[in-house]
Amino acid sequence: EPVGTPSPIVTTDGASTSEQNNDAFAGNDKDIGNDNGKDNDNVSDKSDQHLPSAKMSQFILHIGPPKTATTTIQADLHDLQKENHLLEDGYVYYGATETKYKYKDHALTCLDVLKSGPCLKRTYPAFLNNKRTHVSTNRDIPYPLAPECALPAKMMLDQLRDDGKSVILSDEEYAHLIPTDLLQTPAFLESFRDVLQGWNITMVATYRRTADWMLSSLKQNHASHMMGGNVPHNKWPVDGGAAFFGTMPSFRAWMRHSRARWNSKNGGFIAAKLFRDFIGATQGHRNNGFRIHVLNFHDKHHVTKQLLCDFIQDAPMSCQRLQEKTERSENSRNLPYFLYNNIVFAAAERNIIDAATQVTNTRGNMTNVLVTYHRDTLGKSILDLP
């Protein structure tokens, strides 16, 4: 189906719905995913449903935003590239999990210039202005392909395009171009288009319900205190451990923590950031003439399959491999886990969990034991705790 001819919306249960209930990208004042206070997951109405059927070089820019299965998509793309399925389909992947990949012995890290304000906002525009003057006065004298800061990227992209390859670039930093004002800067956009001249560009983002996104962000906030083996939140009291101070004492406290604040050092864990990165980035790119496609985090069809089987329709080897693979399991450290972990810590402080048990068991393992006992043996949930 040609790009720009949206298909009927298909919900997770397969039912079609009309466009009129989904105005996420219509430029009106209606909030994304919200219809009279209810979440609305039919967000594909204004997104392009498929790539063009004719084979041509595609540049697919997946921006996330954060907490929308980006890591899963990137891990799947990494595996498919490592197993050579992507290349067999004519695609090359570059992103957070693939920084060491080389195409014809040349690193793709040069593509990082596409998010570079200093190069594309200042150096490149000056180059283009000089080029226009040069062409008007010295038409017969060749002019450089690109300024030095972007020349490796331009040459790499031209090589990939000449070889008939398409590119999937996945990087959440592109969701942050709105707060940096780059998408509102005509000079940056002109440079961006010039680097990608000759490419069919599509920006891909993933929709996730707001409340679900907020919970996931809070979970990551807690989990960030557990990274590594020597941090206090992995240790017993006798080893200098500490409780999770970040767990919210009440629903009100959690809402205060997650309220809409646009400027915050803790911006990664606030509700406003989701709307800024999702709505801001998608509408910002669309308003500047870029094709948009939206994946649905809540669809029964896995997000990577939505990308490589539903939207990209000329990658049969990669799609088939995804169909054969077992989907990655979800992280078991959900929000209640951290509260149970604090109970285990308090029990160790009071010697209910004695020193010998602490020596032979990790704090994490004991937390899992408590979770299993409370849920399976007692038939209780976190709501039954005082």
> Per residue in 337-382, pLDDT tens?
778 888 999 999 999 999 999 989 888 889 888 988 998 899 988 7
H-state helical runs in 259-334: 271-275, 281-287, 303-305, 316-324
pLDDT of amino acid 328: 58
pTM value surpassing 0.75: no
The first and second tokens of residue 361, run together, are 């068991």
Highest mean pLDDT among 5-14, 49-58, 144-153: 144-153
| Residue indicated by tokens 């014809």 | 104
Contact 94, 114 (CB under 8 A): no
- Does position 31 have pLDDT exceeding 50, yes or no? no
What pLDDT, in 10s, does the model give residues 330-343? 555 566 777 888 89
What is the pLDDT at residue 204?
A: 95
**pLDDT in the model for residue 136:** 74
pLDDT > 90 in the chain, percent: 38
Confidence of residue 47 (pLDDT cuts 50, 70, 90): low
| Model pLDDT, residue 214 | 74
pLDDT band at 11 (very low <50, low <70, confident <90, very high): very low
CA atoms within 13 A on the CB side of 241: 23
How far apart are the C-alpha atoms of 215 and 213, rounded to whole Å? 5
In this prediction, residue 48 carries a pLDDT of 67
How do residues 70-112 score in pLDDT, each as one tens digit? Answer: 989 999 999 999 999 999 999 999 997 788 889 999 999 999 9
Nearest alpha carbon to residue 257 among 335, 205, 177:
335
Quote the pLDDT of residue 293: 95
Average pLDDT over residues 275-300: 85
- Give percent of the chain above pLDDT 70: 70
